[in-house]
Amino acid sequence: MAAQSQQVIPLYEAGKVPNAITGNIQEVAYTFPFNGEQVRFVVNVITPDLTVYLPEASKNTGFAVIICPGGGYAGLAIDHEGHHMAKKLSENGIAGFVLKNRLPNAAMMTNKEIVPLQDAQRAIQLVRENAGKWGIKPDGIGIAGSSAGGHLASTAGTHYRNALIDNPRNTSLRPDFMILNYPVISFADSLTHHGSRFNLIGNMEQAEFDKLMADKENADKNLAAIPVPADKVAEYSSELQVTDDTPPVFITHAVDDGVVKVQNSLLFEAALRQHGVPVETFFYARGGHGYGMLNPFGEVAWIDNCIRWILHR
């Protein structure tokens, strides 16, 4: 891909990252093979930032998308669910902004559950306040996310009235549209991805948690059985937070996804339609989970349909 990032922007001024706890934990990027290349999985994000991919001026459509990579709220699959998408968008005239947000970790932050959303709101604020400089329409700023990043994007699109950051200009934190790729939507027991739910709103002593997870045969069952507060389950189940003013949504998912059940997307679609919110869906019969932009079992790439939707919705 020809498009290259032009700039990496810290979300916050040095020393002013909200809820941060100073410590010795270091950010780490692991690599793993994906579609013939090595891609990164980033953990322990300390200094969140945005990587900017602006289109060529002659191609610029004025639209922009903030991209939230997935990773179960434990890390960020930042390349195939982040940078690759941003490059594709910018080649099609849409500015892409890859969000390297913090992950909920009680050892690194206070009130861990709000930190990812704080970073997503700050990203929306930054892009909207700099829209003129980047040739972006102030009302053409969307947010995208894959897997747990889809949960973060859907939370940003349903919780925007509750500002978790300083907002002296009263800048709108409402994304103008959402793009959700095999998203975690619900935190309900029967539907959720239990790792994402526990990482965001769960609470357990590390030694006890490690003991549960050491039982490999029953690890998934043990994780699902860890109690979480019922009010938080409702608060972070995006299908329960839809209103008539929720932004339009593009959803894509594989029906055979064995990690995040496709019912997450179906339930969110149903809630959107009940509130008259425009929604476009693109379902694959096969594909599983975590394929990023390109499903090897699909003859059509969802991202191409999505780009058309952004430009013509």
Report pLDDT digits (tens) over 189-199.
999 999 999 99
Cα(155)–Cα(244) distance, rounded to whole angstroms?
Answer: 15
Contacts of 89 (CB under 8 A, 6+ apart): 53, 55, 65, 95, 96, 307
Mean pLDDT for 105-133 is 97
Please report whether residue 2 resides in a domain: no
The answer to whether position 1 is within a domain reads no
Residue 226's CATH number: 3.40.50.1820
Q: Rounded to an integer, what distance in angstroms lies between the CA atom of residue 174 and that of residue 43?
A: 27
Which pLDDT belongs to residue 5?
62
pLDDT exceeds cutoff 90 at 135: yes
Average pLDDT over residues 255-265: 98
Q: What is the mean pLDDT of residues 296-307?
A: 97
Residue among 99, 80, 313, 74 nearest 197 (CA): 74
**Residue 86 belongs to a domain:** yes
* 24 or 210, greater pLDDT: 24
> Does some domain include residue 44?
yes
> Cα-flanking dihedrals φ and ψ of residue 58, to 5°?
-70, -20
Q: Please tell me the distance from the alpha carbon of residue 239 to that of residue 224, in angstroms, as a whole number.
A: 20
Judged by DSSP in three states, 216 sits in: helix
- The torsion angles phi and psi of 93, rounded to 5 degrees, stand at 85, 10
Cα four-point dihedral sign 133, 138, 142, 143: positive
> Would you say residue 267 lies in a domain?
yes
In this model, does residue 47 exceed pLDDT 90? yes
Question: Is a pLDDT exceeding 60 seen at residue 2?
Answer: no
Mean pLDDT over residues 80-94, rounded? 98
In which domain, by residue range, is 140 found? Answer: 7-312
Pairing of strands 95-100, 37-43: unpaired
Residues sharing a CB contact under 8 Å with residue 259, sequence separation 6 or more, in sequence order:
147, 182, 193, 288, 289, 290
CB-count exposure of residue 240 (10 Å: 0-12, 13-18, 19+): middle
pLDDT of residue 3: 59
Size of the chain, expressed as the number of residues it contains:
313
Tell whether the model's pLDDT for residue 73 goes beyond 90: yes
Give the number of domains in the chain.
1
Residue 226 lies inside a defined structural domain of this protein: yes
Identify whether the C-beta of residue 120 lies closer than 8 Å to the C-beta of residue 68: yes
Instruction: Extract the tokens encoding 82.
Output: 């982040």
Range 135-160 average pLDDT? 98
